[in-house]
Structure 1
Amino acid sequence: MKQSYKRGLETIYDLFIHDLRSILFLEQRLEDELGDIAEDVSEEQLREEMINHRDQTSDHAQRLQQIFEEIDETPQIHNRAYFRGIFQEFNQLKNNTQESEIVDITAFNTAIMIERIEITIYEGLLRLEEDLDIGDETRNLLEKNRKEEEQALKRFRGMSENSWLNQMKKNLMS
């Protein structure tokens, strides 16, 4: 179902394209940021998960590019202010400490925050797609990305039960 995107937000389709461009920006930005964050992390398991998720994020961006091709829209990016803020906050906290545990915990919390944002955006896109009935391929690609984000969130949350995180917290309380 081809509809035209106008410069302003006047229709549900316009909002769909706006949000699609936003998540494309975030996925592309995460390809860079997750690698950088992984380099800053001292805990091996967390570093490995960041790198694995960076690779998965590349697949997410490619799927989003496919959606733009399918609906015959230009895959421009849209940078939401809170995306910039998340990465700026991580870098600011990292630069204000000499404690590797603080960096690791901040990276861990940042990863969980980003996953929740991504899941929320994908859920919103899926609701809009359902209203617009753009097509099965678009829906399937969005759903696959959403499911993989949920799995990543589950893996990151699972780390909160690991001894390394608890030990870091104990070290910082002493």
Structure 2
Amino acid sequence: MCANNLDELFEDGLKHVYYAEQQLVDATEELAESTTDDELAEAFAEHHEETKEQVERLESVFEEIDATPEAEPDHAVDGLIENHEDFVNQDPDDHVLDRFNIAAGQKSEHYEIAAYGNLIPLADQLGIDVADTLEATLREEQDALDELSAFGEEFDYGQIDE
């Protein structure tokens, strides 16, 4: 779809982030299940639950703008998920997979932060009263990125066999 005005651009952006969140509900569950580090797996499981709430929050934004919640496929999200599936299918060492999962999570958080970071000022500019709702999700995504970054900084590379 080609947006011809800012209202359409906002709605198109919502559709893309709605798709992303829906896909990431499954992806965060997969990350939690494929991670062997208990603390990291728990972080992914918690974000899985949070992501389901984010989907519901986006549905309320669609309702607020009198639009039907609709997901628009996003090649960036599909690529992140496909990249993870390809890596997992190579049957890496568990510890290597844990480190890869941290990076995969960080990549998706960066994508979501960019998406919400663009939608919020657009909503404000259009006078759509949903910025607080979107900002709540943006804060959660930033917190998730910070948590994953801390895991990455503390990762024990000594366990990886060369």
TM-score, normalised by the number of residues in structure 1: 0.88
Q: 1:141 aligns with which of 133, 136, 160?
A: 133
1:1-80 mapped onto 2 (5 Å cutoff): 8-80=2-74
List per-residue Cα deviations over 1:37-86 (Å, max 9, x = no partner): 21111111110000000000111111100011111011110111111110
Q: 1:152 aligns with which of 144, 150, 159?
A: 144
- Structure 2 CA distance for aligned equivalents of residues 116 and 30 of structure 1: 13
Given that 2:29 and 2:45 are in contact with CA atoms closer than 8 Å, whether structure 1 keeps it comes out as: yes
- How far the C-alpha of 1:173 sits from its partner, in A, is 5.1
Residues 1:161 and 2:149 are matched in the alignment: no
- How far the C-alpha of 1:95 sits from its partner, in A, is 1.1
Q: 1:124 is matched with which residue?
A: 118
Runs of 4+, deviation exceeding 4 Å: none
The SS at the match of 1:161 is: helix
Paired residues, number: 162
1:108-123 mapped onto 2 (5 Å cutoff): 108-123=102-117
List per-residue Cα deviations over 1:117-157 (Å, max 9, x = no partner): 1010000001211211112xx11100101011111111111
List per-residue Cα deviations over 1:71-128 (Å, max 9, x = no partner): 1011110111111110110111111133111211111100011111101000000121
Letter in 1 for 2:118: G
Structure 1, gaps ≥5 residues long: 1-6
Q: 2:99 aligns with which of 105, 121, 137?
A: 105
- Structure 1 CA distance for aligned equivalents of residues 11 and 34 of structure 2: 34
Name which one, 1 or 2, has greater alpha-carbon Rg. 1
- Structure 1 CA distance for aligned equivalents of residues 115 and 4 of structure 2: 19
Q: 1:4 is matched with which residue?
A: none
- Structure 1 CA distance for aligned equivalents of residues 85 and 75 of structure 2: 16
Q: 2:158 is matched with which residue?
A: 170
Identity %: 25
TM-score, normalised by the number of residues in structure 2: 0.95
